[in-house]
Structure 1
Amino acid sequence: MPNTSILKTLSRPRMATYLSVTNQDQTKALELYIWNSQVSAALLVPMHICEIVIRNAIAEIFESQFGGQWPWQRSLELTLPRRYRDELTKARDKRSINNRTSKVIPELTFNFWQQMFVSNYDQQFWQQHLHSLFPNAPVNMPFNQLRGSIFNDLEKIRKFRNRIAHHEPIINQNINSIMDKIERLTRYRCTDTSDWACQHYQVRNLLLTRP
């Protein structure tokens, strides 16, 4: 049967989750697998917007404190743990960079930007600048609580993105919760950007079509 051949090609271990959920119905399992792939692909769009928003916010504070050439400033390097100092060095040392900050920014990982929200930077960055960088965040929330919530949201988004990148099932994950976090972080930074982007997201509509 064609379904058996497809399952073998995709591999039985990979399809085991889908077969279990659909009571070993091969046709339904394959439909669920495609749906999982479609939702995973659709999630990349809001994750893309969220990462751009966050990294540009961090870049803004770097520029305000270290100048437009912040990737090359030793004073910034010294604030970073060795792992992220090495990442910054590697990003800026690419031959195509030529001392262009705008070319360094996309070379740095999501994890790099997320780690800027640890408590070590409260005094240097967040106590003074967090609410101005995220003007639509709750005004009565203490800066350290807000910074911690942003870090935690980014951690969940990052781990979820890793699942997608490794083509893992997300059928048992709370996808609406991930979308809430993405939309919240974007809105904290800019309501216009959030409103515009949400018009183009397809995730929540796809969730309604689950086989």
Structure 2
Amino acid sequence: MATGLECPLAPEGRSAEWAERWLSAPRLAPYLASCEGDVCRALELYLWNVGLCQVLVADISHFEVALRNAYDRVLRGGWHGADHWLLDDASPVRAPIMRTSRSKRLLDVNVANRKAISQAQGRSHDPSDPDQVISNLMMGFWAHLTDRSRERDLWIPYLNRAWPRGTDRAELNRTIYAINKVRNRVAHNERLFNPARDEFLPVTVDSDIIRLLRGLCPEAAELLYGDEGETSVEKYVGDHPAPADVRF
């Protein structure tokens, strides 16, 4: 990627000292490793990665909004408790759901949900307004609603209705988990290339985002992406080739 910036390092003495003061040695290290120790190329790769994050975060945000609104819609339509499903202690999102862990311990899998909702209420101007609370919930909250422990209480009676008929819950959960994992890396401006697992590759995640959005809200997907074959990430790397041999 052509950054338009001239690297302020003389070719004969490319010290990483100032770059480490900026980024920290641990953050800079994988960029240096991918660029054979060349600090200027490493910084170019860093800025290329920043651009990649900026492209991907837009698509993630489109999907995250659609996901939370779809789940709110089907839960509002199906839950008939005394209060909104997010605030009602009897709701399957809040009520204790006891499951046996691999270590044979009995655990309430909704403890994390109640904590996340309470934290979201703390970030809301009006903690009694479910719309405000919903907008303050992190994507991880929505990602965990389709895990195996909640299949009987949430997926079967409610959340499957947000998706096309025949959607496989386990596969969907794995995909949303990967999207959320990459979202968190993007939020902290972490390295996206050379991930530990292929499902975290930016080009894979972006393709999954668009595919799932077409299932949740095809009109939004049509507005944003039309019927183009290329994803936003593919367009970015096509216009801005990576300055190093990295997997993305």
Structure 2 length-normalised TM: 0.71
Q: Distance in 2 between matches of 1:149 and 1:155?
A: 10
Q: Distance in 1 between matches of 2:132 and 2:216?
A: 22
- State the 1:202 CA deviation: 3.9
Q: Secondary structure at the match of 1:172?
A: coil
Q: Secondary structure at the match of 2:182?
A: helix
Q: Distance in 2 between matches of 1:30 and 1:93?
A: 39
| Pair 1:19–1:91, CA change in 2 (3 A) | closer
**8 Å contact kept, 1:130–1:147:** no
- State the 1:170 CA deviation: 1.4
Q: Secondary structure at the match of 1:78?
A: coil
| Pair 1:29–1:133, CA change in 2 (3 A) | same
Unaligned regions of 5+ residues in structure 2, if any?
Answer: 1-6, 10-14, 98-109, 196-200, 244-248
Does residue 31 of structure 1 match 2:30? Answer: no
Q: Distance in 1 between matches of 2:122 and 2:45?
A: 44
Larger of the two Rg values belongs to structure: 2
Unaligned regions of 5+ residues in structure 1, if any?
Answer: none
| Pair 1:37–1:94, CA change in 2 (3 A) | closer
Does residue 183 of structure 1 match 2:200? Answer: no
Structure 1 length-normalised TM: 0.83
Does residue 198 of structure 1 match 2:225? Answer: yes
**8 Å contact kept, 1:47–1:182:** yes
Matches within 5 A, 1:1-20: 2-3=8-9, 4=15, 6-10=18-22, 11-20=24-33
CA deviation digits over 1:186-206, x for unaligned, max 9? 11112221122236x742222
| Pair 1:133–1:95, CA change in 2 (3 A) | closer
Q: Which has the higher contact order (CA 8 A, sep 6+)?
A: 1
- State the 1:27 CA deviation: 2.3
Letter in 2 for 1:171: F
Higher helix share: 1
Letter in 2 for 1:17: P
Alignment partner, residue 180 of structure 2: 158
Q: Secondary structure at the match of 1:29?
A: helix
Alignment partner, residue 142 of structure 2: 113
CA deviation digits over 1:72-105, x for unaligned, max 9? 2121121561221132234346662263221110
Alignment partner, residue 122 of structure 1: 151
Alignment partner, residue 74 of structure 1: 89
* Count of residue pairs the alignment pairs up: 204
| Pair 1:194–1:79, CA change in 2 (3 A) | farther
Give RMSD over aligned pairs: 2.6
**8 Å contact kept, 1:19–1:29:** yes
